[in-house]
Amino acid sequence: MSIFKTTAMSVAGVSADSPAAEAVLTRVATLDMNQAAEDAVLTPVEIGAWSHELRAAFAARIAQLNGDEALAQRYAARAGDIAALADPEAKLAIPELDHVIAFMDKVAGQTRQVEAGDITALQEAKISDADIVRLVELNAFVSHQVRVIAGLRLLNRSDR
């Protein structure tokens, strides 16, 4: 994949002749690996309890919590029937997922307040440790991706 076709470049609007291109071309291997990481959290072979659609919906929701509408839309387009989960304002009733949604929102938005009890609550809801790690990796990666894109957008402004 061309480096300019990766999610980070596409969403930030970086192309071969845009202002951020020169800096981006100093880190092509790194940014390729960044895309491989997105693929690993969104579309792994071993999905555990979380389908590719649900992962895309959570990714969209985390992007939205971070105020990144464009990234949220890109992920929501892959979320199938559960794209509505992408909207943090929508009061979805998915009883079996409510505690997972609350956990994901807290890890993305109030990271510093996460405590041991938040993990215990998931374990008591019979979510396996492997599935907890999968949720946290997805959340943590998207939180990273949002910030890579925010930085690229700044570097890509034309009014320099």
Q: State CA 50 to chain mean position distance.
A: 14
Q: Are 93 and 125 in contact (CB under 8 A)?
A: no
By CB under 8 A, the residues from 2 to 21 that bind another protein are 20
b/e for 45-79, b at 16 or more Cβ within 10 A? eeeeebeeebbbbbbbbbbbbbebeebbebbbebb
Q: Are 85 and 57 in contact (CB under 8 A)?
A: yes
Task: Please report whether residue 26 would count as binding another protein according to CB under 8 A.
Answer: yes
Taking the least distance from each CB to another protein, the nearer of 18 and 95 is 18
Q: Are 77 and 53 in contact (CB under 8 A)?
A: no
Stretch that binds another protein, among 42-50, 51-59, 80-88, 90-98 (CB under 8 A): 42-50
Taking CB under 8 A as the criterion, the residue among 4, 49, 52, 65 binding another protein is 65
By CB under 8 A, name the binding residues for another protein. Answer: 20, 22-24, 26-27, 29-30, 33-34, 36-37, 39-41, 44-46, 48, 65-68, 107-112, 114, 116, 118-120, 123, 129-130, 132-134, 136-137, 139-141, 143-148, 150-152, 154-155, 157, 159
